[in-house]
Structure 1
């Protein structure tokens, strides 16, 4: 029997917005930037003294998340079209268990459920509309995702530069910080990241990353830090009749990106 060649189980641009760009830049900034200085957990936002510099403010904003057993959040992702078309919007939920794994579940119609689980050694993509689970090993997941999970402290080191900057985010001007460092460059472009906190919690709320061709903005809504990790949050609940197919991760990477 002749088998059809494998094709990505989702639109390429939608996947890059929801997975490749999100953990590689935006989530990496939001979840692991405070790890650079290996800072201790910070007190609640209301009790924090004023930061002496933008660098310290960014580090303090993220330090509370450094040793979090698990982070959960709803996310809204907006990505610009480099050809001038309408912005692409994706909503979903994210679960991040440092040292263990990462899950992104799209809330869009026909959206995918994506899991990278270090302990189980798996990289999974489930597409409900096809009733197909695409499976690959942990070592086939994008390298930057694996590094985010296993070594979040290396995502951003103490050499980053932060500058205070106001930008339009979530329909209003927000006080935030533009962060830049050479290690956040990929093979084809230089990426500039801007981050702003939620005034009510002190947690990152808006993160945007702009490259040479396009930009992506991630809004973390109802971000929660759990006191204990729940590995079951990385488990897919599959209905009967789902078949399993091999996943070719090379089809998922943006052009020119290495594993």
Structure 2
């Protein structure tokens, strides 16, 4: 099983990381069989598995239930599990209680926290809970920001860069960047020492993540620009292997799946 040190070394060696969401035992088994580096038990299960309109209806108990099934299906894969909407932001005491419960009961290798919760990341790191930070488009905030490309101005691009640095300084072990311009994602990836995983963030991040149901065109209707379909559900393992190989070889994403928006000048830090 890969650990955080292994993932850091992959970034250092220029080896692209593959990540796929999984929400249950059979999908986790397929992802592990395909050799994917990391699994994300994402709160996107609200739409893909539970039939909700967004992630905000997903509960902490939902995440625990599904993450434990994934752990059983993929015992040898690095697993990250989402802190769902409502489990973060009430108070630091409640936030830490939820983080400890999620980490302890799921046996995941890390939890993922959306947004600018840097003090929570720091406190989790202090007691030994690895945290993956998620910036850019954060689906739990879709009611405010909507589904659109983030950081399209110089001001918001600088803010995102600062947030990424703050997440790393707080102790995040990995960063997910969603739906941002490719040049900004490349700059953030070059600046941080932790692995940066992109989804709709171009090819120059340290790795790529896609939703299992999108990769296999399995029961999903909305298809964002950054989604590439590799097959259908019946070809699961082979399709996932192809995605894994294309990430490794730097073939995915090409320009077809990349936002080409220049938001920072050449000489900006």
TM-score (norm 1): 0.29
TM-score (norm 2): 0.29
- The structure carrying a bigger helix percent of its residues is 2
Greater relative contact order: 1 or 2 (C-alpha under 8 angstroms, separation 6 or more)?
A: 1
Give the greater-gyration-radius structure (CA): 1
